[in-house]
A and B are shown apart, each in its own frame.
Chain A
Amino acid sequence: MRGQTNLAALVIAFVLLTGATVVGVTFADAALADADRNPRDRHAATAVADRLVAADAPTTVRANALAAAAVDDLNASQVETLVPPAKGAAVRITLDGEPVVDRGSPAGGATVRRSVVVVTRSEPVRRSINASRNTTVRVPRGVDRAAVDVEPASNVTTVRANGRVVLYDGSALETNETVHLSPYEPSTIRTGTVGNATGRVVVTYRRPHTEPRILTVIVDA
């Protein structure tokens, strides 16, 4: 009779162990499914974010500075052309929650956030330098370039920005060119001449306005 009781206990033991194995396999299954973080989604999202904020991107004026006009024009097919891994994927790009590009529903995809500033440029501001009276134009901080238009026959030979020569012609200057300025300090534009100068030099610039924003990219490939 002892043998029989042992066999019954053995059967119970087998049943319990089988049950435990089944549970173990279920856990392993769940763990494997959990471990599928879908690396392609992450790659596509990082690629879109990188390509949108890069210094050489068509959407930026410099690294991490998006041009407001480019942002307004941005659409899904442009994103696809810029970023091949996003081809055919559901994409949502928002700036501080405001949708910029929305295609499909990338709910289960990877999310990437970047800090950017959005740059808007004011209307052109025109100031002129009276060459005969040697006046100057003070360009405020933040402006990195200005168009300098030297009136013909004004006998101006040099244009300086903060002491640095930006335009020079031994005989009179006669040109309309864009010069680069330091954006970190105000620039004083003054003219230099050999002999008497007449006429005007017109300096045109646009004041930029930067707004910090969070760029969120969600892609489901």
Chain B
Amino acid sequence: MPRGQLSLSVVEAAIGVVLVLGVAAGFTVGAAGPTPSTPQLDALAHDTATVLGTEPTERGRDARLAALARSNRSFARVREPTRRRIVALLPSDVLFRVRTPHGTFGYPHPPTAAVGSATVATRYGPVTIRVWYG
């Protein structure tokens, strides 16, 4: 009478198949993960810093970047026009946050790991621009 039990070889074969497919799945997961292209984000952050560092402000006496770092009053005055300028400079799918010795502005800190950044050491202190895809 055929007992209702699975032959051991079939069980072994099933385990073998699961093992091979598991290793194969490791290939697909490992290689297909897209690397966050940080060099591109770094380039955009660097570009923004360069442009802001060579543009005059509406009513001040130095470049936008230096005006952000110079003093609390100067920061408060140029913060909004600079924010609008950065929005115009960056692509629409890129968000940013700017940190100066007198405060930060921009979008809330990014949830993703891929962030590009550029730091400029002005004579009043460092200004850091961080960008990410959002």
Contact = CB atoms under 8 A, between A and B. Distances in A.
Direct contact of A and B (CB under 8 A): yes
Interface of A: 5-6, 9-10, 12-14, 16-17, 19-21, 23-24, 27-28, 30-32, 34-35, 46, 49, 53, 62-65, 112-117, 141-142, 183-185, 210, 212, 214
Nearest to A32: B31
Interface in B85-99: 85, 88-91
Contacts of B51: 64-65, 115-117, 212
B47 A10 contact: no
A114 B63 contact: no
B107 to A, nearest CB: 16
17 contacts: A9-B7, A9-B8, A12-B9, A12-B10, A13-B9, A20-B20, A20-B21, A20-B24, A23-B24, A24-B27, A53-B47, A113-B40, A114-B43, A115-B48, A117-B51, A183-B54, A185-B56
A113 B39 CA distance: 11
A115 B32 contact: no
Interface residues of B, number: 40
A49 B17 CA distance: 49
B21 A183 contact: no
A65 B63 CA distance: 15
Contacts of A65: 51, 54
A12 B56 contact: no
A24 B22 CA distance: 9
Contacts of A183: 54, 56
A9 B16 contact: no
Contact of B31 (A12, A19, A34, A116): A34
B44 A114 contact: yes
Interface in B42-89: 43-44, 47-48, 50-51, 54-57, 60-63, 85, 88-89
Contacts of B56: 141-142, 183-185
